[in-house]
Amino acid sequence: MNRLLGDNGRVLAFGAHPDDLEVGAGGLLARLVREGAEVTLAVVSIPNQLEQRRAEAQAGADVIGGKLRVLFDERPTRVEDIPMHELVRRFDMVVGDSRPDLVITHSTHDLHWDHGLVNRATVSALRRTPCDLLAFLSSPEMNAQSRAMGQCFADITHTLELKIRAIQAHTSQVPKLDLESSRDLARAMGRISGYEYAEAYEALRVRV
């Protein structure tokens, strides 16, 4: 297994809602923390149950070992209710603060409208930032359906259990989140890539 970043690498991950990052990229984010990177989990909005879901997002970030930042937490918000220029302005601020070497965001192939908007805002906010960019799909169902993913696989064999624990931290969502599907998908991606467990990413920009 190769290390993805050098010492003190900086990683910035954008998720539209609490739990998207844990489901889509939790294994890789936890691995990057263990490899010495400074990881920021930027949750764009909390659509409902503001206090509870903010606490769950914090608990998920704590399991992964990253720093949580909620971009719009003044009130319950859906991403599609935020004007794109305001979305990009806040993304700009986070990118400026974190100066990332690697950014991880939603895929354009994601069928959830809010997730697609976060992809657009991420690409826009990175217009002057040289960094690598990976995209994820945040549900096992979408991953299973998508032919676009799988250009790039991350070995998460040693962080799969942390990923599952980070998803479980979202207690209000656990009835909707099928933990076994996450495990099965990681195994399936592992079989394709030759790891025990893996997450699939779309490589939007990679410097080699």
Instruction: Specify whether the CB–CB gap between 10 and 36 falls below 8 A.
Output: no
Decide: is 69 part of the binding site for Zn ion (CB under 5 A): no
- Give whichever of 20 and 202 is closer to Zn ion, judged by the CB atom: 20
Among 9, 11, 13, 17, binds Zn ion (CB under 5 A): 17
Please provide residue 54's backbone torsions phi and psi, each rounded to the nearest 5 degrees: -65, -40
Q: By CB under 5 A, how many residues form the interface with Zn ion?
A: 3
Instruction: Specify whether the CB–CB gap between 71 and 91 falls below 8 A.
Output: yes
Burial (CB count <10 Å: 0-12, 13-18, 19+), residue 115: buried
Q: Which stretch binds Zn ion (CB under 5 A): 16-24, 45-53, 142-150, 181-189?
A: 16-24
Decide: is 20 part of the binding site for Zn ion (CB under 5 A): yes
Q: Which stretch binds Zn ion (CB under 5 A): 3-11, 19-27, 48-56, 88-96?
A: 19-27
CA nearest neighbour of 103 among 27, 40, 168: 40
Q: Which stretch binds Zn ion (CB under 5 A): 6-14, 20-28, 76-84, 175-183?
A: 20-28
The pair of three-digit structure tokens given for residue 83, joined into one six-digit string: 């004007």
- Give whichever of 136 and 153 is closer to Zn ion, judged by the CB atom: 136
> What's the number of CA atoms in the CB half-sphere (13 Å) around residue 191?
5
Tell me which residues touch Zn ion (CB under 5 A).
16-17, 20
